[in-house]
Amino acid sequence: MSQVAVVTDSTSYLPPGVAEQHGVTVVPLYVVFGGDRTVPETDITDYDAFFEELRGAEALPTTSQPSVGDFRAAYEPLLADGREIVSVHISGGLSGTPESARQAKEALEREGKGGERIQVIDSTTAAGGLGFMVLAAVKGARDSTSAEQVAAHVVEARKQLKMWFAVDTLEFLRRGGRIGAASAWIGSTLKVKPILTVENEMTPIERVRTSGRAFERMVDYAKQRRDSGADAWCVQHINAPEQAGALEERIRELFGSEPTIVSEIGPVLAAHTGPGLLGTGGLPAHFLR
């Protein structure tokens, strides 16, 4: 067992079993339905039913970050075992999750419970990008003896990460208030498929006219990653398994290797982007293995 434990949140959306395989502790964010039903994201396993509810809802579900108490509950047993912690989270530009983690660290430090042994990292990304940063932390924990060294490895990995995703519409982001700089595209008379990334907040990249063109742009972006030597790649989707399967096949042909991450993005981010998202990206594999 590594001296350094890795903690993340549920928006890393690693494939099933990967967090458990690597001993990563996952702290869930919450989905709030109708203002009166709050459910940990990790408890929502029937995505089809969730999207059915999402499509028919007059008001979108809202989401909330883990509490300071949630993070304390994750950290305290690890600290009690004498371990250091690297806690890697969704961008603070999208969620207050990193701040909750920092507050938990500070409280444990004040109380003399080992908070100084925790390194909290705002990944400035989400979903597959965060998943990659978690796997970088796992590699760092395997190779390093201190949380500080692991955190430095994650920071270097983040500099080499690039991710893109296409959404069917900006409407969900607009309604949820998470549209960031892409707000400039609202009101366009053109029917477009936006392509965005997360660099602290939702950041617009380009607009294309059709879903087919958006798919081909995802392939183009993957080729850019391959040509720059970023040989670890991923495919993620929201309620679009057939398109994701087709994208995975195309990118596998480009790289001649298997993806590091293929998974479906869950309800917390889906509540903000809506169904139909398709994404890819990657970084050099030496950061991960």
| Extents of the domains making up the chain | 4-29+65-159, 162-287
Mean predicted lDDT score pLDDT of the chain: 92
Task: Please give the average per-residue pLDDT across 9-23, as a whole number.
Answer: 97
Sign of CA dihedral 122, 128, 134, 135: negative
Cα–Cα nearest to 205, from 178, 169, 165, 233: 165
Residue whose entry in the numeric block shows the structure tokens 């965005």 = 196
The amino acid present at 243, given as its one-letter code, is: Q
DSSP bridge partners of 164:
280
CATH topology of domain 4-29+65-159: Rossmann fold (3.40.50)
- Residue-level pLDDT at 177: 55
In this prediction, residue 34 carries a pLDDT of 79
* Averaged pLDDT for residues 227-238: 97
pLDDT for the residue numbered 172: 67
Model pLDDT, residue 178: 52
- Average pLDDT estimate for 241-256: 98
pLDDT, position 158: 98
The partner residues of 45 in beta bridges, in order of sequence, read none
CATH architecture of 162-287: 2-Layer Sandwich (3.30)
Can you state the percent helix, strand and coil of the chain, rounding each to 5?
45, 25, 30
Q: Are 255 and 152 in contact (CB under 8 A)?
A: no
Per-residue pLDDT, 59: 78
What are the backbone dihedrals phi and psi of residue 49, each rounded to the nearest 5 degrees, phi first?
-65, -35
Q: Which of 117-126, 178-187, 207-216 has the lowest mean pLDDT?
A: 178-187
Asked whether the predicted pLDDT for residue 57 surpasses 50, the reply is: yes
CA atoms of 153 and 139, how far apart (whole Å): 9
Whether pTM > 0.85 for this model: the answer is: yes
pLDDT of residue 280: 98
pLDDT interval class at 189 (50, 70, 90):
very low
The pLDDT of residue 238 is above 50: yes
- Strands 37-40 and 25-27, by their bridges, are unpaired
Query: 79, 77, 88, 86: which is closest to 114 by C-alpha?
Result: 79
- Select the more confidently predicted residue: 287 or 34: 287
Residues comprising the chain, all counted: 289
Cα distances (Å, whole numbers) of residue 222 to 51, 133, 264: 28, 18, 18
Q: 12 falls in which pLDDT band (50, 70, 90)?
A: very high
Pick the range with the lowest mean pLDDT from 100-104, 162-166, 172-176, 233-237: 172-176
Q: In what order do the strands lie in the sheet with 37-40?
A: 37-40, 30-33, 62-64
| Torsion on CA atoms 125, 130, 133, 138, rounded to nearest 10 | 160
